[in-house]
Chains A and B, each alone.
Chain A
Amino acid sequence: MSAASKDTALRTGVIARALIYSILLVFAVFYLLPLFVMLVNSLKTLDEIRQGNMLAFPEVFTFEPWIQAWGEAQIGVEPTGLKPYFINSLVMVVPAVIISTLLGAINGYVLTKWQFRGHRVVFGLMLFSCFIPFQIVLIPMARILGILDLAGTTSGLVLVHVVYGLGFTTLFFRNYYDAFPTELIRAATIDGAGFFRIFRRILLPSSGPIIVVTVIWQFTNVWNDFLFGASFADFDSQPMTVALNNLVSSSTGVKEYNVHFAGAILAALPTLIVYVVSGRYFVRGLMAGAVKG
């Protein structure tokens, strides 16, 4: 995205420009609306939501829904709030991201700088694995996790996320290392540097940006996953997304919209923070995931 095209000499009049700005603003409102609704209503009492206007600011601010969502709300059978699930998600995400990123880096290194016969096929097979509908692996995965005695555990989920994240992490690093000058590697080999030394001393130090992109991508994907969490986890390992869904869709008792909204924001917070702090890398990851090859 260079700034070179800033001087597109399109002829636009004042009215056209006003129209353009208003369209852009309308869409900004459209995208912000659900976030606004969640935020505003998570600070209202339940009565105020039921009787009042969903788009209005709270008349009485209350943090009670947040406290409830975090520590008291009934999820499943236990009134634990979302806190234990938040911790489950964290405990799952951190190792899954680290392992899949490391493996992706070393895979990308092999696939670009130590190419062997059939490396294209290997990469193709890994790449296709990014796109499979996970429904196709659910049944055997449940069996294997049972056999490995990992059913319902966080370790099991970490394994699942590492395996199905490998395709993407490998893709990211492969594309990045592809542009890295091979002459440097060759020179290092002649100087006697081995496989791992070249990786550690030459490639890794210049991999900062792609590591950030990969970590953000993996973090977002694993944190936001619902299908695997819903299929393979039990109470001790259930991630945030599953707990939030249980909270919102539980059919018993009063629907506490304000608590649901507070819970939704809690579930969204980690990825939102990552996005706000490093949006540039986030977008780059999305693009790298989209524009293949």
Chain B
Amino acid sequence: MLIATLFSSDPLSFVSGKAKPLCQWRLKLLFENAVTMIERLQTYLPRLVLSPSFVLILLFVYGFIAFTGYLSVSDSRMLPSLGFVGLENYEKLFSLRHWSIALKNLAIFGILYIVICTVIGLGLAILLDMKIRGEGVLRPIYLYPMALSFIVTGTAWKWFLDPGIGLENVMHLWGWESFSFNWIKSREMAIYTVVLAAVWQSSGFVMAMFLAGLRGIDNEILKAAQIDGASNWQLYRRIVIPMLRPAFLSAFVVLAHLAIKAYDLVIALTNGGPGRATELPATFMYSYSFTRNQMGIGASSAVIMLMMIASIIIPYLYSELREKKT
């Protein structure tokens, strides 16, 4: 029996205080009860141990999602309020110019961020995989930005891109008088500086993912193709890149969800400006919920963000967990 190891002391000790008036058979019954209880406990113990975490997740993730979901159809303004208003907040949300700017920026930022990170990541991975001397030095250099806070990244790029003291000034001092690079101050171009800083931070990580994928490819296949006369270009286009499909998928999922969540970087780099030019859904949600006293609209924007992420993540997780099963 397992109880012996679970409770090395006498299993009856916890009833002994009250056991005095009990006669022999009742004591026996109690003992049997205790045994089944402990056996039960043994079978339920794993679930019991897991339950605090699971309850926390249910409450703080799914309960909160439900709560925010309800707020999005309520008349909450400065504080949460429970008056039901239907889809009014969503209608207001989609008629707001700020929100359409945020969505347009997310589209620009998301697409460029994903595409450029993938191209740079794949390119660097392929090049690094060509028996490069000094790979051990280069790889950590490509990857270290991932360890930094977006606030640090934002600070560094904010001043480096500042026309007054940064890159533009450097070029002028180096004698290129006509050089102009004031994207960070320009309403039209500021969003691209966010892309630049975000790509700087994440592309090395994408490189590492592709590199792992490349290293997993069986060389015999490549050699066989070479013997058949395939050129390097064909080798990569026809064999290597198709075989990297899982890495492409993972990179896409990770980058897409990072893009939708992007908040800190914008705050540190442009603070949503100039004007509202670099507003993203995450910054929109924050300002409407907490500074503009439009909590209902803020909640509805959060729900839209969750839906965007869910539409990418759920199919992915589903297929991943499925594959495991078989």
Q: Which residues of A contact B (CB under 8 A)?
A: 1-2, 4-12, 20-21, 23-24, 27-28, 30-35, 37-38, 41, 49-50, 52-55, 103, 106-107, 110-111, 114, 116, 120, 122-129, 131-141, 143-144, 162-164, 166-167, 170, 189, 192-195, 197, 220, 223-224, 226-227, 230-231, 241, 244-245, 248-249, 257, 260-261, 263-265, 267-268, 271-272, 274-276, 279, 282-283, 286-287, 289-293
Contact = CB atoms under 8 A, between A and B. Distances in A.
Nearest to A275: B147
B2 A31 contact: no
B309 A268 contact: no
B309 A6 contact: no
Chain A interface helix/strand/loop/mixed? helix
Interface stretch (B18-26, B107-115, B297-305): B297-305
B182 interface: no
Q: Which residue of A5, A38, A167 has the most chain B CB atoms within 10 A of its CB atom?
A: A5
Contacts of A135: 263, 281-282, 285-286, 301-302, 305-306
B306 A133 contact: yes
Across chains A and B, which 5 residue pairs bring their CB atoms closest together, nearest first?
A114-B46, A224-B149, A34-B156, A293-B320, A275-B147
Interface in B193-249: 200, 204-205, 208-209, 211-212, 214-215, 217, 219, 222-223, 226, 232, 235, 246
Given A53-B173, A192-B4, A290-B209, A223 B50 contact: no
A5 B219 contact: yes
B5 A194 contact: yes
A9 B138 CA distance: 22
A122 B50 contact: yes
Chain B interface helix/strand/loop/mixed? helix
Interface of B: 2, 4-6, 42, 45-47, 49-50, 52-54, 56-58, 60-65, 67-68, 71, 80, 120, 123-124, 127-132, 138, 140-160, 165-167, 169-170, 173-174, 200, 204-205, 208-209, 211-212, 214-215, 217, 219, 222-223, 226, 232, 235, 246, 250-251, 253-254, 257, 260-261, 263-264, 267-268, 271, 281-282, 285-286, 289-290, 295, 298-299, 301-303, 305-306, 309-310, 313-314, 316-317, 320-321, 323-325
B148 A128 contact: no
A25 B197 CA distance: 19
14 contacts: A1-B212, A111-B50, A125-B57, A128-B61, A132-B306, A141-B60, A193-B5, A227-B264, A244-B155, A265-B152, A268-B148, A271-B148, A274-B147, A292-B317
B159 A290 contact: no
Given A24-B132, A54-B160, A267-B152, A7 B219 contact: yes
A170 B50 CA distance: 10
A140 B68 contact: yes
A153 to B, nearest CB: 17
Nearest to A11: B232
Given A116-B47, A260-B155, A268-B148, A143 B223 contact: no
Contacts of B217: 5
B58 A28 contact: no
B284 to A, nearest CB: 9
Nearest to A126: B57
Nearest to B306: A136
A116 B46 contact: yes
Given A138-B289, A292-B320, A31 B57 contact: no
Given A4-B219, A54-B160, A287 B212 contact: yes
Contacts of A8: 129-131, 219, 222
Contacts of B150: 224, 226
A275 B144 contact: yes
A2 B214 CA distance: 10
A166 B200 CA distance: 28
A5 B129 contact: yes
Given A28-B138, A136-B302, A241 B46 contact: no
B193 to A, nearest CB: 13
B163 to A, nearest CB: 11
A58 B156 CA distance: 17
Contacts of A103: 52-53
B169 A54 contact: yes
Contacts of B298: 139
A73 to B, nearest CB: 13
